[in-house]
Amino acid sequence: MQAGQASNHAQAEGASAAASRLPARSKGRSRQRFNSWLTALLVILVLIQGNRLMREHGALVRDITEDQLFLPSRVGERMLGELQDTLQVKAFFTGDVKIGSVQIAKRRLIDQLEEYGRASRGRMQISYLDPNSSPEARSEATSLGIVPAPALVDQGVSKVAQDVWLGVVLRYRGKESVLKWVLPQYMESKFLGALRKVTRERLPSVGFVTGDGRNLDPRFGPMRDLLQDQYRLHEALDLALGLEIPESVDVLVVAEPTNLHPRVAYEIDRFVQRGGRALFLLDGLRVDLAGQYVQSIPSGLEAMLASWGVQPRPGVLWDQQSHNVLKARLAEDEAPVSYDYPFWLRVPKQAMHASLPATAGLPGVNLYWAQELDYSPIEGLLAEDLLWTSEETWSLPSDEPGLVHLEALEELQRRVRPAGAARRVLGLSLSGLFPSAFTAGVPAALDPIKLALHEDRVQRALAAGLEPPALEVVLLEEPVQSAELESQVILIGDADWAAGERFFGPANRLFFVNLVDTLALENDLLALRSRQPIERPIDDFLAEERAAIGLMGDPEDVQEGEQLTLAKYEDLASQLAARRRWKLMALASGGSLGLALLLGFLWRQSFGRTPSVSPRPGLSGLSQGDES
């Protein structure tokens, strides 16, 4: 009885103990959940704050790519490291950006500016101003010519619009340069270009001669504006009247010289003789597609160029392999049609000098109605080909109907055949001692009235398609410098590529500024601009298989009966190319799976099979007494 009562008592005690543990257990679980959530929250806060701190103070970056485009260039680091005084940089950036993509761009710009600040070793002071929230900042930005750009984006069901400011001004030793609008992808070249402007004691001076040397040809207005933006521009006019090219001019650009008077040619030659460097955009033809006429243009520099061994060949180049497409309509009421127009040359990267800074980093340029530059070696001069055509290029006479009559193009395609095809030089760089063409006598300067009358006669003759009259030239016996000082000259057998907005596109503009920078010895800027990603094309299996089968030649030559055979071989080439692709893919995937099997096998050999005693990895991991 007593044992039974004791047992009951023990049971009752056990039950009440259990009952008192129940609330404690559920309290424990609640506390456990609370602790877990609290830990999670603390972890998130630490993550956010730690990330923020690292963003600001933990920058240690390595660019391990071959292109090396992600970090400031060595040139940039050097330019910033050489600052002698404080460079003030004011960034007019919108503070509260409502649009995500703009915020990311702004963040990247700030990161880039901070990188430059680090490279300057404390010489750069950056301040950020928000024109949207500060009237003073807005007023200053506006006075500098910085204007906001409107941005619009869909966010859910509504549209968000905001005027975005992303402008920067650099100030150094009293000089100022403004970047009115910057984006991360262009920031380095623009920023360092502006830095160069404010830190250089003197910008290079570029002389500019176009056409007849008396007036600016409006087609070269964009080129002139580009020169004025980057350099100190001097328009060299009226050289025929005895005016000289000033000593301060470093580089002379001669664009589409047209019937230049011998006195002008002499002044240009004198400039080169004293060590000045020149860029010649030569063009023997003016082509008007709309008016369907072609005009031959003698440059007036023939004697001078001949003394340097250069002779522009008459005619116009037709490149069967590398050319552009022309869109035109033959009648007003017709839709535009695309024509393969081999007179518009496409000069790819492979057809440019690979190591000269002017062409090394370029993706390619386009030339229009170009002529070949023939060169005979001259003692004391070093010539290097800058650009050239493909091997399938012919030089055609300028009266070729297909030049301006597009309906004659097809017939011209059939007539132009392998005989006479060759690689043609489009651009040349000459350096060394240049012999003068004027050692026999210096052309006298013109009387302005006589010059005006002569020009009028020339224009009338050209318009009538007649040979322009020659102006009587009086030669003076004066001492002439010849081949005494070294210089450099670049000649391009076309001027249309730099004329007007239509032809003077981004690639051609880049080529132009590279040429001028080369002559102005602006190696830093050239190095910056040549920072382009390396092209990485893969092998063209289809082209290789077609070549292996022998599928070359003009498809239009194929007779009707042969077309079936051609299609069969094209099909075969496609199949072979596809087979090669699948083989490579199978190797890649098979390699991955094979390696996986191999590693699994090696692991088992090294560490043995996992015991199957316990199906639970968590338990089996410790059931062998491995715990410490």
Partner 1 sequence: MGAALAVFRREFGASLSSPVAWAATVLLVIALHLLFFFVGFPIGDRTLPAFWSGRVAMLDGLFAWLPVFFAILAPALTMGSWAEERRAGTDEILMSLPVRTRELVLGKFLASWCLLAAISVLAILPVALMVDSVGPLDWGTVWGGTLGACLLAGASVGVGLATSACAREELVAFLGSAAILGLLWALMLVIRILPGEWADAAYYASPALHFLESSARGLLDLRDAIYFLLFTGGALLINISVLEGRRWG
Residues 538-577 that bind partner 1 (CB under 8 A): 538-540
What separation in angstroms does the CA of 521 have from each of 118, 251, 265? 28, 10, 24
The single residue among 23, 29, 377, 449 that binds partner 1, judged by CB under 8 A, is 29
CB of residue 81 to partner 1, shortest distance in Å: 22
Contact status, residue 123 vs residue 80, Cβ threshold 8 Å: yes
User: How far is residue 287's CA from residue 256's CA, in Å, rounded to a whole number?
Assistant: 13
- Binding-site residue total for partner 1 (CB under 8 A)? 82
Comparing CB distances to partner 1, the nearer of 14 and 591 is: 591
CB of residue 63 to partner 1, shortest distance in Å: 6
CB of residue 355 to partner 1, shortest distance in Å: 18
Of 138-146, 168-176, 386-394, 591-599, which segment contacts partner 1 by CB under 8 A? 591-599
CB of residue 196 to partner 1, shortest distance in Å: 26
What separation in angstroms does the CA of 110 have from each of 118, 355, 443? 12, 34, 59
Comparing CB distances to partner 1, the nearer of 21 and 415 is: 21
Beta-carbon contacts of 97 under 8 Å, excluding residues fewer than 6 positions away, are 103, 106, 162, 164
Q: Is 591 in the site for partner 1 (CB under 8 A)?
A: yes
User: How far is residue 295's CA from residue 578's CA, in Å, rounded to a whole number?
Assistant: 51
CB atoms within 10 A of CB 52: 10
The single residue among 9, 33, 121, 460 that binds partner 1, judged by CB under 8 A, is 33
DSSP three-state, residue 88: strand
Q: Is 21 in the site for partner 1 (CB under 8 A)?
A: no
Contact status, residue 81 vs residue 120, Cβ threshold 8 Å: yes
Rg from Cα positions in the chain: 37
Of 54-62, 231-239, 419-427, 516-524, which segment contacts partner 1 by CB under 8 A? 54-62
Q: Is 74 in the site for partner 1 (CB under 8 A)?
A: no
User: What residues between 377 and 436 interact with partner 1 by CB under 8 A?
Assistant: none
Contact status, residue 478 vs residue 436, Cβ threshold 8 Å: no
Comparing CB distances to partner 1, the nearer of 101 and 523 is: 101
In 336-456, DSSP assigns E strands to 337-348, 364-368, 373-375, 381-388, 393-396, 425-433, 442-443
Paired sense of beta strands 158-164 and 149-155, if any:
antiparallel
The single residue among 54, 470, 485, 547 that binds partner 1, judged by CB under 8 A, is 54
Q: What are phi and psi of 53, to 5 degrees?
A: -60, -45
Comparing CB distances to partner 1, the nearer of 76 and 284 is: 76
Of 15-23, 64-72, 258-266, 343-351, which segment contacts partner 1 by CB under 8 A? 64-72
Beta-carbon contacts of 74 under 8 Å, excluding residues fewer than 6 positions away, are 527
Partners of 430 in the β-ladder: 383, 489
The single residue among 18, 59, 306, 453 that binds partner 1, judged by CB under 8 A, is 59
Q: What are phi and psi of 348, to 5 degrees?
A: -80, 175
Q: Give the helix ranges, DSSP H, for 407-470.
A: 409-415, 448-463
User: What residues between 193 and 222 interact with partner 1 by CB under 8 A?
Assistant: none
User: What residues between 91 and 150 interact with partner 1 by CB under 8 A?
Assistant: 96-104, 107
User: How far is residue 244's CA from residue 619's CA, in Å, rounded to a whole number?
Assistant: 96
Comparing CB distances to partner 1, the nearer of 155 and 523 is: 155
Q: What are phi and psi of 73, to 5 degrees?
A: -70, 165
Comparing CB distances to partner 1, the nearer of 84 and 628 is: 628
Contact status, residue 467 vs residue 515, Cβ threshold 8 Å: no
Q: Is 607 in the site for partner 1 (CB under 8 A)?
A: yes
The single residue among 9, 16, 21, 70 that binds partner 1, judged by CB under 8 A, is 70
The single residue among 84, 152, 202, 536 that binds partner 1, judged by CB under 8 A, is 536
User: How far is residue 482's CA from residue 567's CA, in Å, rounded to a whole number?
Assistant: 64
The single residue among 18, 47, 337, 474 that binds partner 1, judged by CB under 8 A, is 47
The single residue among 51, 139, 228, 575 that binds partner 1, judged by CB under 8 A, is 51
The single residue among 135, 377, 506, 537 that binds partner 1, judged by CB under 8 A, is 537
User: How far is residue 278's CA from residue 427's CA, in Å, rounded to a whole number?
Assistant: 13
Of 44-52, 75-83, 336-344, 394-402, which segment contacts partner 1 by CB under 8 A? 44-52
Of 25-33, 366-374, 420-428, 522-530, which segment contacts partner 1 by CB under 8 A? 25-33
* Entry field: residues in the chain: 628
Beta-carbon contacts of 71 under 8 Å, excluding residues fewer than 6 positions away, are 61, 63, 115
Q: Is 621 in the site for partner 1 (CB under 8 A)?
A: yes
Of 203-211, 261-269, 483-491, 535-543, which segment contacts partner 1 by CB under 8 A? 535-543
The single residue among 2, 4, 19, 66 that binds partner 1, judged by CB under 8 A, is 66
CB of residue 506 to partner 1, shortest distance in Å: 21
User: What residues between 153 and 192 interact with partner 1 by CB under 8 A?
Assistant: 153-156, 160
Comparing CB distances to partner 1, the nearer of 475 and 599 is: 599
Comparing CB distances to partner 1, the nearer of 485 and 578 is: 578
User: How far is residue 414's CA from residue 422's CA, in Å, rounded to a whole number?
Assistant: 18
CB of residue 98 to partner 1, shortest distance in Å: 5
